[in-house]
């Protein structure tokens, strides 16, 4: 077994390996459930990449995403992620019906002129319903020309695909962007969620983001929920979609499928009656939601 020491990140070693790793099937997608804490159901999943490196063992995105961004390998890698997530999603839908598939997309990928046509091809090839796909974009998109961003968002939304602002509140966006570029969801950065309970202004910031989302007519979700207190506070502020270690870490496909088979999911238009307990999480390791 590998020790828990993080591998030394060496761009010059990793960069040439990244493209080959796609061909050799060394990347894998893990999935973290997005929970609707108002009714204890799974609202969707976020795809998160892992690299099963042949010599170094399992690597986290922090070890290689920035190298891929610098080298440009993020473009073919991101395309692989989208295709693989849409492919994996077929078995998730079979297990549990409609839910949301949320996929991280880097600004470098969005800057490719073929991004929208590639996305459209992937939807067609995989049979992925566009309305169930959400792209998580960071506010660094606003380093791009705003006319280009406007056209890009319009083209993505014309396909029927949703857009979420990831890590909201930490980036480059100005409030005027929210008025000019319609997005579907503001995803409150985990920093604010994790500082909610320690007398920090984070609670007020989260409250403000929830209100802002209402003003501009978008949804809101939160990440990095680790405690029952945070979940209950989020629900109290009106943010009911949340993800975090309280519910589940990101897990491989077979484990998310097991969870989906055990937990009631919001079917379109139909809510299963459950005993809502926003303050309880997954029973660790059991893939069962503690409902009693």
Binding site for ligand C2E (CB under 6 A): 32, 47-49, 60-62, 65, 78, 81, 104-106, 136, 166-167, 190, 223-226, 243-245, 250
The stretch near Ca ion (CB under 5 A) out of 53-61, 116-124, 166-174, 203-211 is 166-174
The distance of closest approach from Cβ of residue 79 to ligand C2E in the complex, given in angstroms and rounded to an integer, is 10
The smaller minimum CB distance to ligand C2E, of residues 23 and 176, is found at 23
Q: Which of 63, 136, 139, 266 binds Ca ion (CB under 5 A)?
A: 136
The smaller minimum CB distance to Ca ion, of residues 34 and 257, is found at 34
The smaller minimum CB distance to ligand C2E, of residues 88 and 223, is found at 223
The distance of closest approach from Cβ of residue 136 to Ca ion in the complex, given in angstroms and rounded to an integer, is 4
The distance of closest approach from Cβ of residue 64 to Ca ion in the complex, given in angstroms and rounded to an integer, is 16
Across 141-151, b (16+ Cβ under 10 Å) vs e yields: bbeeeeeebee
Q: Which of 17, 104, 230, 240 binds Ca ion (CB under 5 A)?
A: 104
167 binding Ca ion? (CB under 5 A): yes
The distance of closest approach from Cβ of residue 105 to ligand C2E in the complex, given in angstroms and rounded to an integer, is 6
The stretch near Ca ion (CB under 5 A) out of 98-106, 121-129, 144-152, 207-215 is 98-106
The stretch near Ca ion (CB under 5 A) out of 115-123, 131-139, 205-213, 257-265 is 131-139
Query: What backbone torsions phi and psi does residue 76 show, to the nearest 5 degrees?
Result: -65, -35
The distance of closest approach from Cβ of residue 269 to Ca ion in the complex, given in angstroms and rounded to an integer, is 27
What gap in Å lies between CA 40 and CA 137, rounded to an integer?
26
Alpha-carbon distances, residue 162 vs 61, 105, 185 (angstroms): 23, 12, 8
- Choose from Ca ion, ligand C2E, none: what does 49 bind? Cβ within 5-8 Å by kind: ligand C2E
**Which residues of this protein are in contact with Ca ion, per CB under 5 A?**
104, 136, 166-167
């Amino acid at each position: 077994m590998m020790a828990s020491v993080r591998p030394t990140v060496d761009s010059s070693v990793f960069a040439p390996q990244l493209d080959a790793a796609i061909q050799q099937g060394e990347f894998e997608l893990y999935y973290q459930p997005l929970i609707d804490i108002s009714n204890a159901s799974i609202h969707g999943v976020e795809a998160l990449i892992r690299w099963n490196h042949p010599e170094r063992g399992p690597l986290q995105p922090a070890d290689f995403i920035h190298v891929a961004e610098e080298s440009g390998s993020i473009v073919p890698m991101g395309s692989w992620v989208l295709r693989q997530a849409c492919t994996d999603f077929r078995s998730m839908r079979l297990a549990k019906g409609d839910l949301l598939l949320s996929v991280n997309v880097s600004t470098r990928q969005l800057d490719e002129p073929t991004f929208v046509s590639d996305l459209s091809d992937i939807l067609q090839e995989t049979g992925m319903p566009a309305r169930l796909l959400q792209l998580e974009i960071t506010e660094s998109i606003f380093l791009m020309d705003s006319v280009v961003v406007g056209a890009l968002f319009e083209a993505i939304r014309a396909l029927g695909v949703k857009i979420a602002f990831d890590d909201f509140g930490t980036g480059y966006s100005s409030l005027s962007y929210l008025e000019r570029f319609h997005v579907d969801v503001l995803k409150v950065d985990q920093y604010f969620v994790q500082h909610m309970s320690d007398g920090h202004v984070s609670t007020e910031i989260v409250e403000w983001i929830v209100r802002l989302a209402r003003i501009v007519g978008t949804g809101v979700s939160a990440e990095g929920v680790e405690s029952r207190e945070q979940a209950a506070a989020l629900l109290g502020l009106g943010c009911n979609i949340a993800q975090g270690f309280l519910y589940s870490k990101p897990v491989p496909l077979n484990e998310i499928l097991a969870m989906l088979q055990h937990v009631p999911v919001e079917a379109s238009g139909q809510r299963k009656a459950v005993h809502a307990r926003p303050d309880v999480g997954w029973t660790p390791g059991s893939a069962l939601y503690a409902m009693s």
